[in-house]
Structure 1
Amino acid sequence: MNKTVNINIGGLFFHIDEDAYQKLSRYFDAIKRSLSNSSGKDEIMKDIEMRVAELLTEKQKSDKHVINNKDVDEVIVIMGQPEDYRLDDDSEEKNAGSNYNTTKTRKLYRDKDRGTIAGVCTGLGHYFGIDAVFIKILFLILFFGFGTGFIAYIILWIAMPKAITTSEKLEMTGEPVTIASIEKKVREEFDTVSNKFKNADYNKVGNEIQSGANKFANGVSEVVTNIFNVFAKILGAFIVFLTSIFLIAVCVASVVMIFSSSMPENKVVEFISTPLGLETPLWAQGVLFFLAAGIPLFFILLLGLKLLVTNLKSLGNVARYSLLSIWIIAVGILIALGINEFNQLAYSGKSVQKETIGITATDTIKVQFKYNDFFSKSINEKDDFRITQDSAGHAIIYSNNVHLHLKRTDRVTPYIQIEKKANGKSFDEANGRAEKIAYNFKIIGNEILLDNYFLTATGNKLRNQRVDIYLYLPNGIVYYPAENVTNYLNGSESDFDYFYGPEGYMYKVENTELKCLNCPSNENNSSTTENGEEIDIQTNSSVKDSTVTTTVKVNGLNVIINETASPVKKESNSRLSIGKDGTIIKTK
């Protein structure tokens, strides 16, 4: 039975049996003797102990693991024996740790000593074996070209640890961490500092320093430090506050999307519209959105907390690199899905149905929209798209994306043209998807009954389906729209301006104009002469080529008034009255 002792190496505690402890002690003593004439002996010894502690930590299989002779021997093989090299020999690295595999394996650290801001680019340059200037150029391109350079730099700043110890600096550049390499690195740094002091003009410096200079400099330094600390605290609080709000919003949106399938009656879910559409399941979009947006926000939140809390414990390397890898994968998947979704909408197709209305050009044509009370209880309730069920319980896409366009025709009879449109990744797919749109209308005598909705199977997916109705009106026909037509009337691709009056009134087609036959006048319907005689005044206005033509009927006598229309408001707000001489007076 061997005794065990507790020791502290490089700030870490270990359980070690007595034989292994004696061997490790002799090893450290031998190193100290070999460094007796070396500059920076204490710093070299400290780094060696920290490296030994790291290697012993790797040997620990559990908290109760006891370091034995085998573990110590393996560490000595890696570090090398002190007697295997001479400190003043230039070939020391050839002999030290000769049994250790010297293949260069780099670790990712921030090189703050050579870096400009945080040492991220310099550390990446060491890791990939390229000049740091190329990494900096790449970040600038991402920053100014795509706007992601800043976020990526912040994430790497948080994720990459800073190379502090000599061992970490050696690992960063891929050099083997042995006694010889540690000693050489420390000597180089020590010699650099020594040269700076040797080159200094001490006499000149001593003459310039006054008795109170140190106190003043310390005071200024303390003030500046306090100012920066306060600024850092304020900035940290601001970052934490904003990032927390955004992170909560991302979490809520993601949860709603992920569990949307279990909330089919939720109106909020029905109106969720994402760039990926229905090609990707909504729950998958929620997961990807949470990872792509949530992980950067989480790292920014940690940065704010570090500024706010001085001794905040950092995430481990495993957690940092794992989250970074997951974020890169999620963003890559989103980009691939986005490209695929764009391809699904690359081509437009349509299905056309034309039908003649069997009335003459002197008749009246009535237009009315109707709804299905199974899908909606009001003609005014409109949904661009909604996933619902039909009467048989099948899932379908329901939409009120229906528009009416008024067109003029030289034919003697009116006709209607129904165009069902959709998008797809090819013309054949787009045309096929358009043909699968179910839209109904009826022509009963001189009345057109139009559905205010269309249906299509969910298998056709949301691909910008819509229905455009083109009503062609010949010259002389009377157009009589119901009041609900205003909800679906669309001025694009129409031959008539439609500001003459509200629906529910009769309009006659006269060449390129629609003239209202029974619209109420905007003017007063009566006036009086100077002698107190009451007369009847009726007005009817129309606009063509920026000219307002007002027909005034005074006691059965027609008077026509032409005036230039306002470019903003094409109607007259004047008051008509009769003067002493019987003329018509127009006042504002």
Structure 2
Amino acid sequence: MNKTVNINLGGMFFHIDEDAYQKLTRYFDAIKRSLSNSSGHDEIIKDIEMRVSELLNEKQKSDKHVVGLTDVDEVIAVMGQPEDYIIEDDLKVSPYYSETNTRRTKKLYRDKEKGMIGGVASGLGHYFGIDAVWIRIVLILLVFAGFGTGIVAYIILWVVTPEAVTTSEKLEMTGEPVTISNIEKKVREEFESVSGKLKDVDYDKYGNQIKTGATKLGSSLGDLIMTVFKVFAKFLGIILIITGIGTLISLLIAVFTLGSSDFIDVPWRSFIEAGNFTDYPIWSFGLLMFFAVGIPFFFLTLLGFKLLSPKMKSIGNIAKYTLLALWIIAIAILISIGIKQASEVAYEGKTVQKEIINMMPTDTLFVKFRFNDYYTKDIDNNENFKFVQDSANAQLIYSNNVRFQILNTDEKVPFIQIEKMARGKSFQDAKQRAEKIKYAVKIEGNQLILDNYLLTEVTNKFRDQEVEVFLYLPEGTLLKPDSSLQNYDRSDDTFFNLHYSSDNYIYKVTNSQIKCLNCPTEENEFNDVDNDSEADTSDVTVTINNQGVSVEKDTVKSNTKNRGLKKNKDGIIIKTN
């Protein structure tokens, strides 16, 4: 049973047994004796201690690991025995030293001693084995030809690449083995370089001043950039924490509110119930969305805390992989549900209803839309989908997805064609759903009154239900549309151009288009009222009173006599031959 000793070596803390401690002590004493006459004795010893500390730290298996004789022997085998080295201009290696025991891989560091600003180019030059000048040329080319990417790349490398400060790091930067002989040689070269520069201070005076100034500027700029990055990281961490926690709380509320209508009454629950395409329970959607959306935001929240406190412990690999598995499963189930929902609206079905408008050819057709004041108080209200209850508390789907279009017909009397459409998983399913749409049309004499909304049962689900109303008018029909048409009219403008500035305009149907009789000239895109081959110039006067609509025309024709006028039962003056 051996005693253990706690030591601090190169700034690192180790548990070491007594035998290994004594051998390591004798080893350092021997090094100090062999280097007693070397320049920079203290600097060499410090670098050797840091290198030994790094090698011992690599052998640590846990926080409770005790350094033994085997560990010390392996470190000495790498570093070499001091008495086996003769430090001359040409280094002779001990027969006990094997190059296979040393690491010759290079590490990327910034070389500020040979650098111009931050030492990035010099460090890259050492790492790739090329002159730093070529690295600088590439970075300058990226500044001008790469839209400033050279500056961004330099700043990023400056921030993430450590500076080679110790002798061991400088040796690793150039790929030289970190041994006692190389450390002693490197320190001696630095001392000789400093001594030579002191001797030639008159020659290097201005060069040193410029380099010192550039170094200070680079160091200050580096500190500034690091400070900005740290502040930005803290700010980003706060944003991620607030966003993540807010999203997770919202998802938790959504899970409960979707699961039970007795918990809390929120509008989105009714929306999901009405639009639910599948037979899965509503709460399952909330749970799946909680995992699919909540897990990524949970990790974003952890990232935010990590940015604020880099020393915060991780949640562990088991928790990470468990959450990842749950997220993948939730995404897979949602994809399968999405495919099933897509199949629920794959087909479109419709029903067609035709109604004749019994009116005289000389009558004027009045057309308007009406709204139900139980569901809305405004004719201009436009809802593609709304979940409502009627006066009997029955749940319904309400929609203003109604379209209106005027077309020409060769039949003698006008008529309307009402097409109700819906989607489903088959043509039959879609048609049955279209048949269940509730839509009302009212024809009173020469008045056509249309609902601006449709209704259907919630059990029918929301499947793009819509209604299209086609008004077919024979040639010569007089039409007075209400201003309520403007939100629903989808007629071809080349055939019927509804003017929105007034709801007192009278239109007449010709074989090619519907023309406005009393629209101002600047609003009327078309020519005269009459489309006969004989052009005429007309002054049209339209009077709207309690007897009806009166259209009076003074027609002057070239080489013809004036046409006669006759008033119909609606009070409208019409032309007769």
TM-score by length of 1: 0.53
**Matching residue of 1:204:** 202
d(CA) in 2 for partners of 1:204, 1:94: 45
**Matching residue of 1:573:** none
Contact 1:112 1:163 in 2 (8 A): yes
Give the 5 Å matches for 1:289-304.
290=297
Q: In the alignment, is residue 283 of structure 1 matched against residue 290 of structure 2? A: yes
Paired residue type of 2:256: S
Among 256, 259, 266, the residue aligned to 1:262: 256
Q: Deviations over 1:51-87 (max 9, x none)?
A: 3334444555665655443443454455555567665
d(CA) in 1 for partners of 2:462, 2:69: 71
Paired residue type of 1:20: A
Q: Deviations over 1:540-567 (max 9, x none)?
A: 6573218899955699995899xxxxxx
d(CA) in 1 for partners of 2:270, 2:218: 56
Contact 1:541 1:551 in 2 (8 A): no
**Matching residue of 2:21:** 21
Aligned-partner SS, 1:544: coil
Contact 2:407 2:473 in 1 (8 A): yes
- Cα 1:493–1:356 shift into 2, 3 Å: farther
Q: In the alignment, is residue 510 of structure 1 matched against residue 495 of structure 2? A: no
Contact 1:9 1:53 in 2 (8 A): yes
**Matching residue of 2:47:** 47
Structure with higher Rg: it is: 2
d(CA) in 2 for partners of 1:31, 1:73: 15
Shift of 1:9: 0.6
**Matching residue of 2:532:** none
Shift of 1:166: 5.2
Aligned-partner SS, 2:500: coil
Among 538, 545, 562, the residue aligned to 2:525: 545
Give the 5 Å matches for 1:174-189.
179-180=178-179, 184=182, 187=185
Q: Which runs of 5+ in 1 are unaligned?
A: 273-277, 303-312, 423-428, 517-538, 562-588
Contact 2:400 2:452 in 1 (8 A): no
Aligned-partner SS, 2:250: helix
Paired residue type of 1:248: I
**Matching residue of 1:471:** 470
Among 416, 437, 444, the residue aligned to 1:414: 416
Contact 1:421 1:466 in 2 (8 A): yes
d(CA) in 1 for partners of 2:203, 2:15: 52
d(CA) in 1 for partners of 2:506, 2:551: 23
Contact 1:111 1:119 in 2 (8 A): yes
Aligned-partner SS, 2:357: coil
**Matching residue of 2:355:** 357
Shift of 1:402: 2.2
- Cα 1:545–1:507 shift into 2, 3 Å: closer
Q: Deviations over 1:423-460 (max 9, x none)?
A: xxxxxx99999879757244656355464467899999
Shift of 1:24: 1.1
- CA RMSD in angstroms comes to 7.2
**Matching residue of 2:278:** none
Paired residue type of 1:440: I
Shift of 1:10: 0.9
- Cα 1:74–1:495 shift into 2, 3 Å: farther
Aligned-partner SS, 1:469: strand
d(CA) in 1 for partners of 2:295, 2:126: 30
Moved more, 53-62 or 91-100: 91-100
Q: Deviations over 1:485-505 (max 9, x none)?
A: 6655568989544443578x8
**Matching residue of 2:279:** none
d(CA) in 2 for partners of 1:156, 1:432: 65
Contact 2:352 2:419 in 1 (8 A): yes
Paired residue type of 2:45: M
Q: Deviations over 1:367-412 (max 9, x none)?
A: 6576798xx677777665689999xxxx99x684725242433353
d(CA) in 1 for partners of 2:61, 2:18: 19
- Cα 1:421–1:479 shift into 2, 3 Å: farther
Q: Deviations over 1:170-208 (max 9, x none)?
A: 7788x69x642x753784587478558747982634887
**Matching residue of 2:401:** 402
d(CA) in 1 for partners of 2:223, 2:44: 33
Aligned-partner SS, 1:8: strand
d(CA) in 2 for partners of 1:280, 1:124: 55
Contact 2:406 2:491 in 1 (8 A): no
**Matching residue of 2:8:** 8
Corresponding residue pairs, total = 484
Paired residue type of 1:471: F
d(CA) in 1 for partners of 2:429, 2:125: 50
d(CA) in 1 for partners of 2:552, 2:200: 111
Paired residue type of 1:286: V
d(CA) in 2 for partners of 1:67, 1:270: 68
Give the 5 Å matches for 1:283-362.
283-284=290-291, 286-287=293-294, 290=297, 351=349, 353-359=351-357
Give the 5 Å matches for 1:165-176.
165=166, 167=168
- Cα 1:63–1:292 shift into 2, 3 Å: closer
Paired residue type of 1:410: T
Paired residue type of 2:297: F
Quote the sequence identity (%). 27
Aligned-partner SS, 2:46: helix
d(CA) in 2 for partners of 1:386, 1:17: 78
Aligned-partner SS, 1:51: helix
d(CA) in 1 for partners of 2:293, 2:456: 29
Contact 1:405 1:491 in 2 (8 A): yes
Contact 2:416 2:469 in 1 (8 A): no
Shift of 1:22: 0.7
Paired residue type of 2:509: E
Aligned-partner SS, 1:545: coil
Give the 5 Å matches for 1:474-485.
474-475=473-474, 476=477, 478=479, 483=484
Q: Deviations over 1:148-176 (max 9, x none)?
A: 99999999987776665555667788x69
- Cα 1:491–1:445 shift into 2, 3 Å: closer
- Cα 1:149–1:234 shift into 2, 3 Å: closer
Aligned-partner SS, 1:357: strand
- Cα 1:557–1:501 shift into 2, 3 Å: closer
d(CA) in 2 for partners of 1:382, 1:186: 85
d(CA) in 1 for partners of 2:431, 2:149: 43
d(CA) in 1 for partners of 2:122, 2:300: 24
Q: Deviations over 1:85-136 (max 9, x none)?
A: 66566685996456748696x88x6646579879599789969xxx998xx9
d(CA) in 1 for partners of 2:288, 2:79: 55
Aligned-partner SS, 1:27: helix
Shift of 1:21: 1.4
Paired residue type of 2:416: P
